[in-house]
C-alpha cells in the first residue's frame, strides 16, 4: 500500500507529464495547456520554479512552436503569399542583399549636416515661406 507522500509524488509526476504533453499540443500556450491538463497555472509555475528538469523540458518545447511557425511560413511561401516571401527574404536573405535600408539623403560620400535652430527661427522661416509662396 502506498504512503500518502508516495501517492502525492505520483500525482505530481503524472501532472507534469500531462502538462508537457498539453504544452506541446498547444505550442507552448500555458493557459491552454493547463486547462487541457486540468492543472492550475499557479501549480504549473510552482513546478517550473522548483523542478529544473521540468523547466528544461518546457524550454525545449519553444522549438516546437518555432518549428510550427516556420512550417506554416513555408506553406504560405509555397502558396505564393507575397508578404510571407518578403518576410522570409528580409529575415533570412540579408546576406544576399534582401534588406531594407533607410536613405537619409545628402550628397554621396559626404556627411549629413545637421542644422540646429530655435523654435522662433523656425517659425520665422515658415512665415517667410508663406509670404513668398502663392498660397
The pLDDT value given to residue 135: 52
d(CA 96, CA 90): 10
Same domain (yes/no): 54, 83: no
Q: Looking at residues 99-127, what average pLDDT do you find? A: 78
The pLDDT value given to residue 102: 66
Range of the domain at 84: 66-96
Q: Which residue has the cell 540646429?
A: 116
Share of residues in the chain with pLDDT > 70 (%): 93
The pLDDT value given to residue 100: 77
The pLDDT value given to residue 62: 85
Which pairs count as long-range contacts for 51-59, CB under 8 Å and 24+ apart, including other chains?
51/16, 54/16, 54/20, 57/20, 58/20, 58/23, 58/28
* Grid cell digits, residue 47: 513546478
Same domain (yes/no): 50, 73: no
Total domains, the chain: 2
Same domain (yes/no): 43, 90: no
Amino acid at each position: 500500500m502506498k504512503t500518502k507522500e508516495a501517492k502525492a509524488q505520483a500525482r505530481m509526476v503524472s501532472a507534469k507529464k500531462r502538462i508537457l504533453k498539453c504544452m506541446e499540443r498547444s505550442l507552448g500556450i500555458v493557459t491552454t495547456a493547463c486547462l487541457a491538463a486540468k492543472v492550475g497555472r499557479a501549480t504549473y509555475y510552482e513546478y517550473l520554479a522548483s523542478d529544473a528538469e521540468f523547466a528544461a523540458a518546457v524550454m525545449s518545447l519553444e522549438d516546437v512552436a518555432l518549428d510550427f511557425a516556420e512550417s506554416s511560413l513555408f506553406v504560405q511561401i509555397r502558396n505564393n503569399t507575397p508578404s510571407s516571401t518578403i518576410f522570409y527574404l528580409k529575415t533570412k536573405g540579408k546576406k544576399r542583399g534582401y534588406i531594407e535600408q533607410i536613405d537619409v539623403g545628402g550628397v554621396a560620400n559626404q556627411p549629413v549636416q545637421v542644422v540646429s535652430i530655435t523654435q522662433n527661427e523656425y517659425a520665422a522661416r515658415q512665415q517667410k515661406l508663406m509670404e513668398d509662396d502663392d498660397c
